[in-house]
Structure 1
Amino acid sequence: MATVTPPCSVVECDRPARARGWCLPHYKRWRRRGTIHDITPEHRFFSHVEEGENGCWLWTAGRYPAGYGKFSVDGSTELPHRWAYEFFIAEIPAGLSLDHLCRTPPCVNPWHLEPVTDRVNVVVRGTGPSARNARKTHCPQGHAYDTGNTYVSPRGDRGCRACRVAAERRHSLK
């Protein structure tokens, strides 16, 4: 005699029940979230936010190696700081990225974010090697990086003409 598996106890779900009277997808949702009911993105967002110093909202869920968060919305992974900015402030204009004014990558406080060009975000305000080099006004020998003394290589690197001329002289003397 074959046993009949009852349907999932969730209204309008006709999949067979597996555990606790729920089908496998509803059971997995309960295990992950603690509820079988759909949770709004806002509720899930704030369940992963903790207040930090200087008014930062720190993302406590999954993060990328650089410290920026991961947030799943409608089946796709988003950056939670971008989601928060668009939810609370406005859509991010095309061609712009968000700069963390607080310099804290896990911060998702939309009032700590400003839409800027990639150049401003990385080179002008950044802390990486390209940003530090872009802020230099003189070469290591003290020559000014100005329009008359600066050349740009085919790779896009900036160099000092005076140092280049001196190096060519030294090389030609050998």
Structure 2
Amino acid sequence: MYVPADWNATICTADGCDKPRTGVFHTLCRTHYEKSRRERNAQLAPLGFGKRCSQEGCDRPHHATGLCRLHYNRKITTGSTELQPKAAKVKSPCSVDGCAKDAKTLGYCGSHYSNYRKHGMPVVPNTRGPRGEPKLDKFARHLSADDERGCWLYSGIINEDGYGKFNLGQGRGEVKAHRWLYQELTGKTLPRALQLDHTCEVPHCVRPSHMLEVTQAQHNAHTAARRKVPAGMYYRADESPRSLAEVGYAITHRLPTVWNT
């Protein structure tokens, strides 16, 4: 049996071992301590000092209250040392109509419960549109009508200057909404030197007939002229549609087709 020889030792006191000492109440390294502990238990077992689990048929070492660790954990968790069969889970369908998944929390399946936590409702309306939807139809979902001025107001992303931004998708980035729709409905490709002047003075309006192709100097002159117009009177340069496509687009998506005064 191991008996500590030098309590001030900093390395293992076992013969031929130079590993560091690991214990407070012994002077051995971890390997030699475990070896000596097993030898001590083997010597004490015939004398009745090696306590075992009191559960019938179990020869595991004692842990607490006369039981090994396994049976002790069963006792405090289930109330019995015997292995209890798992109760069968009663499955119920998701409470959302048409969902065949099993309910997990609050009567919803995993996906509908996630929607409920994020949006306050289990079913979120689809605002993204179907895959492969034409860009012009996708764009129209962001438009609303201003019946007073006849504007097509863009309700998507608005930048710090008040102009709308439209995401083309598929990694092609964002474009100015009014400039993109103008080119789509007129079939023109505007050079960078040309700007579109909002004659309605509403920056997030995207109606092509409210736009004028101007240079920077012309744009500045028109802006100065509109500032001289009395309040309540709108400066208008041209009210005619820019193309038949604009008229058809307005009819299809129920947008103003004429300027209301």
Name the TM-score, length of structure 2 as normaliser.
Answer: 0.35
Provide closer, same or farther for how the CA distance between residues 62 and 119 of structure 1 changes in structure 2, counting only shifts above 3 A: same
Q: Which residue of 1 aligns with 2:158?
A: 63
Matched residues in 1 for 2:198 and 2:189: separation? 14
CA drift of 1:90 comes to 3.3
Percent of aligned pairs sharing the same letter: 28
1:81 to 171, 178, 185: 178
The answer to whether residue 144 in structure 2 is matched with residue 46 in structure 1 is: no
Provide closer, same or farther for how the CA distance between residues 47 and 120 of structure 1 changes in structure 2, counting only shifts above 3 A: same
Once the two structures are superposed, residues 84-103 of structure 1 have per-residue CA deviations (whole angstroms, 9 ceiling, x without a partner) of 11011132442211001111
Q: CA RMSD in A?
A: 2.9
Q: Which structure's residues are more often strand, by fraction?
A: 1
Q: Please identify the structure whose Cα radius of gyration is greater.
A: 2
Matched residues in 2 for 1:66 and 1:49: separation? 19
Tell me the matched-pair count: 103
Provide closer, same or farther for how the CA distance between residues 33 and 115 of structure 1 changes in structure 2, counting only shifts above 3 A: same
Residue identity in the other structure for 1:91:
K
Structure 2 unaligned runs (5+)?
1-109, 112-123, 229-261
Residue identity in the other structure for 1:58:
L
**CA contact 2:145–2:152 (8 Å) conserved in 1:** yes
How does 1:149-160 map onto structure 2 within 5 Å?
A: none
CA drift of 1:33 comes to 4.0
Matched residues in 1 for 2:215 and 2:183: separation? 17
Matched residues in 2 for 1:98 and 1:86: separation? 11
Name the TM-score, length of structure 1 as normaliser.
Answer: 0.51
Residue identity in the other structure for 1:117:
T
Structure 1 unaligned runs (5+)?
1-18, 21-29, 136-174
Secondary structure of the residue aligned to 2:164 is coil
Matched residues in 2 for 1:47 and 1:103: separation? 23
The answer to whether residue 213 in structure 2 is matched with residue 111 in structure 1 is: no
Q: Which residue of 2 aligns with 1:96?
A: 194
Q: Which residue of 2 aligns with 1:163?
A: none
**CA contact 1:48–1:60 (8 Å) conserved in 2:** yes
CA drift of 1:36 comes to 5.3
Matched residues in 2 for 1:35 and 1:45: separation? 11
**CA contact 1:64–1:70 (8 Å) conserved in 2:** yes
Matched residues in 2 for 1:67 and 1:51: separation? 17
Provide closer, same or farther for how the CA distance between residues 103 and 36 of structure 1 changes in structure 2, counting only shifts above 3 A: closer
Matched residues in 2 for 1:48 and 1:118: separation? 28
